[in-house]
Structure 1
């Protein structure tokens, strides 16, 4: 692990991930975290395991960025004390809050369904995802509910979590290993910090809150979310088959009670 990106969601995580890939690093972003190591993260968050197995899984990864690693940045830094840390910030706490809320509003307007809370009953992967999402919300906003369950948002609590997180990073990371960065700054300070040549192309600008093609749209193509869909379909097929069989047996018992009795007798003999 060479670089730990400690910036919260909506501080330019997707732009930073693309920039670091352009500079030649192997980057694990939110997609890789959940597609490859979802169970390991949740086991650690639930206190089932310590961090050793999770850290071992990242030993050949150059960069980690976005949730859940950004809120676990200090765990990674303890295991990789020579890594450089990049803390991405917005122009203000208000700007960060507004952008984060826009992302959630976009999800609620375009993807939320009324039966979302029941999906874990049909998909083990969704149940695990819900656990991780809840932990991420606790660490980044102070809310113990998943984002689609929020009836009221405490702006003060969200901003408190953001400001305390950033203050902790600035306090705990040695100055020569820390870059506090705003994505709008471009390549110069980033490349100087990493001792890399400046690419001959504009700095990436990805995942603009509230615009089509953002991370909420992209998530629908993640392998984890496709797995959830397949598990839900399989569960519904099994439930439907069982229901059809039950109805068929009930109809048989009502219409042909003698045949039904013979079938039951044969089953008992078998």
Structure 2
């Protein structure tokens, strides 16, 4: 592990991931965390395993960014103490809260299904995914809940968590290993920090809130979501067949009783 991106979601994580890929690094972002190592994260967070097994999966990865890695940045840093740390920040905690909450509202409006509460019973993969999402939500907002549930949100709790997280990174990472990167800043200081030449291309601007193709839209195409959809379809078919079979058996029993 060469670089740990400790910035919270909606601090330019997708832009940073793309920028670091352009600089030649192997980057594990939200998609890789979920599709490749979701079970390892859940087992660690549930206390089934310690962090050693999870960190072993990242030893040959250059960069980690976004949830759940960003809120576990210190665990990564303890295992990879020579890594550089990039803390991406918004202009203020108010700006960050507005952007983060809008992302969840977009997901609720566009992607929440009417049978959402049944999904953990229809798909084992979704049940595991929901566990991980709840942990990520708690770690990034200091609030209970999950990002697809309609619920009251405490702006104070969310902003408190953001500010405490950033303060911890600033305090615990040695100055020579830390870059504080402001969203929209561009290539210059990043490339200087990493000792890389500045690319000719403009700095990426990804996952703009409210625009089609943002991370909540992309999530629907993850392999994990495809697996969830397949498990749900299978469960519905099995449940439907069971109900039909039960009705048929009941009808036969009633018919026999009438005949006899």
Taking only aligned residues, the RMSD between alpha carbons, in angstroms, comes to 1.3
> 1:197 is paired with a residue of what secondary structure?
coil
- What does residue 164 of structure 1 align with? 164
- What does residue 216 of structure 1 align with? 216
Structure-2 separation of matches of 1:210 and 1:149: 18
- What does residue 129 of structure 1 align with? 129
Instruction: Calculate the TM-score normalised by the size of structure 1.
Output: 0.94
- Check the 8 A contact 1:13/1:65 in 2, yes or no: yes
- What does residue 197 of structure 2 align with? 197
Structure-2 separation of matches of 1:151 and 1:188: 41
> 1:146 is paired with a residue of what secondary structure?
coil
Q: What are the superposed Cα offsets for residues 187-228 of structure 1, whole Å, 9 maximum, x if unpaired? A: 110001000111110000000111111000111100000100
> 2:140 is paired with a residue of what secondary structure?
helix
- What does residue 37 of structure 1 align with? 37
Structure-2 separation of matches of 1:250 and 1:230: 30
Structure-2 separation of matches of 1:57 and 1:258: 65
- What does residue 265 of structure 1 align with? none
Cα offset for 1:150? 4.3
Structure-2 separation of matches of 1:159 and 1:74: 20
Moved more, 250-259 or 156-165: 250-259
- What does residue 236 of structure 1 align with? 236
Number of residue pairs aligned between Structure 1 and Structure 2: 260
Cα offset for 1:182? 1.5
Summarize the alignment of residues 19-38 of structure 1 with structure 2, pairs less than 5 Å apart: 19-38=19-38
Structure-2 separation of matches of 1:150 and 1:113: 12
Moved more, 73-82 or 176-185: 176-185
> 1:232 is paired with a residue of what secondary structure?
helix
Structure-2 separation of matches of 1:120 and 1:240: 18
Cα offset for 1:258? 9.3
Gaps of at least 5 residues in structure 2 are none
- What does residue 59 of structure 1 align with? 59
Q: What are the superposed Cα offsets for residues 210-267 of structure 1, whole Å, 9 maximum, x if unpaired? A: 11110001111000001000000011111111111111111112224599x9xxxxxx
Q: What are the superposed Cα offsets for residues 137-159 of structure 1, whole Å, 9 maximum, x if unpaired? A: 11100111112334211101100
- What does residue 6 of structure 1 align with? 6
Gaps of at least 5 residues in structure 1 are 262-270
Moved more, 107-116 or 186-195: 107-116
Structure-2 separation of matches of 1:150 and 1:192: 43
- What does residue 141 of structure 2 align with? 141
Summarize the alignment of residues 106-125 of structure 1 with structure 2, pairs less than 5 Å apart: 106-125=106-125
> 1:234 is paired with a residue of what secondary structure?
helix
Structure-2 separation of matches of 1:254 and 1:117: 35
Structure-1 separation of matches of 2:28 and 2:147: 23
Cα offset for 1:73? 0.2
> 2:184 is paired with a residue of what secondary structure?
helix
Cα offset for 1:117? 1.5
- What does residue 186 of structure 1 align with? 186
- Check the 8 A contact 1:16/1:183 in 2, yes or no: no
